[in-house]
Amino acid sequence: MSLASMLKSMFSKPYTSVRPKQADDMVSSGAVLVDVRETHEWQAGHAPKARHIPLSQLGARMRELPGGRPVVTVCRSGNRSAHAARMLAENGHEVANVSGGMRAWAAAGLPVIAKGGRAGAIR
- Number of residues written out for the chain: 123
Question: At a CB cut-off of 8 Å and minimum separation 6, what does 118 contact?
Answer: none
Mean pLDDT of all residues in 5-31: 84
Q: 32 pLDDT exceeds 80?
A: yes
Question: Can you give the pLDDT at residue 14?
Answer: 83
Question: Can you give the pLDDT at residue 4?
Answer: 60
- CA–CA separation, 63 and 66 (whole Å): 7
Q: Residue 101's closest CA among 122, 71, 70?
A: 122
* Sheet-wide strand order for 16-18: 16-18, 95-98, 71-74, 32-35, 51-52
Residues 115, 35: contact at Cβ < 8 Å? no
Q: Tell me the per-residue pLDDT of 42-77, one tens digit each, with 9 for 90 and over.
A: 999 999 999 999 999 999 999 999 989 999 999 999
Give the catalytic positions in this structure.
Answer: 75
Domain boundaries along the sequence of the chain: 23-115
68-87 burial by CB neighbour count: b if 16+ within 10 A, else e? eebbbbbbbbbebbbebbbb
Mean pLDDT of all residues in 74-94: 96
Question: Can you give the pLDDT at residue 8?
Answer: 53
Q: Span 23-115: which CATH code?
A: 3.40.250.10
Tally of CA atoms within 13 A in the half-sphere of 1 that contains its CB: 8
Question: Can you give the pLDDT at residue 118?
Answer: 86
* Secondary structure (3-state) at 66: coil
DSSP 80: H
